[in-house]
Structure 1
């Protein structure tokens, strides 16, 4: 399963000069935990970072910083982790581990951002694969049970009778 098939294609971006309040408002409005931060270049807008809800809480609120003077570009992680659409889940997890992040950007062959994949997305895809594996196992068990229904059954074991405390033995 490649990352391109499980990533989220709907991404929300904002300019690096936006305020923290604008970022938080966008996250709430669109029900997302990460925003793509862009900056203007001569070629047009370019990805300059990513900011997460966790960044807002841990880096700003928990430190008691004054939010009015902080631009989202100041907070955004400039060390952008990304994987190609063709990467597998193990590759995406390796990048997450190497960068210490829970989300990575997904890029196409021309290195354009086409999506974002989160740890939650990877866990969901893994759970679906495990559920398919369980279905295979159950199907095999059901087939074996159906095949043995007409076969002679082995004798049932004799029940064990436990005598009173202090004595031991088998009884018929």
Structure 2
């Protein structure tokens, strides 16, 4: 199972010149916990950072900075952690755990943004898999009962 098969392809993006306030408004409008900072390179949207709701709280609100006066590029860390759409879900989960991140932009072979994967997505997928496995066990019991004399 690859990340590309299960990532969310509807990514909310922003440019570095936009204000932090605009980033927060986009998160609220789209009910998401992040926006991906992109740059246009050779006609492709390339992710260069990510701003999360936690970043807004820790980096802007807690120190009392004015969100309308800060640009997104002012709080984004250089060299974002990215994964490729052909990467294994389990490998990506392990990498996310090691880096202590909950969301990761997903890129294609050319480095263009194609989606985002979040721990919440992985939890939902694992829950579905566990439900399927439980159904198999339940069906096995039913078959045993039906076959008994």
**Considering the TM-score relative to the shorter chain, is it more than 0.5?**
yes
Partner of 1:126: 126
Query: How far did residue 52 of structure 1 move?
Result: 0.8
Alignment partner of 1:80 is 2:80:
yes
Query: How far did residue 40 of structure 1 move?
Result: 5.5
Structure 2 unaligned residues grouped into runs of 5+: none
Runs of 4+ in structure 1 deviating by more than 4 angstroms, as ranges, are: none
Paired residues of 2:46 and 2:112 also in contact (CA < 8 A): no
Bigger relative contact order (CA 8 A; separation at least 6): 2
Q: Deviations over 1:79-98 (max 9, x none)?
A: 31122212222111122123
Partners of 2:120 and 2:69 lie apart in 1 by: 32
Partner of 2:111: 111
Partner of 1:98: 98
Normalised to the residue count of structure 1, the TM-score between the two structures is: 0.78
| SS of residue matched to 1:10 | coil
Partner of 2:29: 29
Q: Deviations over 1:24-60 (max 9, x none)?
A: 111111221111112466x456422111111101221
Normalised to the residue count of structure 2, the TM-score between the two structures is: 0.89
Partners of 1:68 and 1:34 lie apart in 2 by: 17
The size of the alignment, in residue pairs, is 148
Partner of 1:56: 56
Q: Which structure: larger Rg? A: 1
Structure 1 unaligned residues grouped into runs of 5+: 151-172
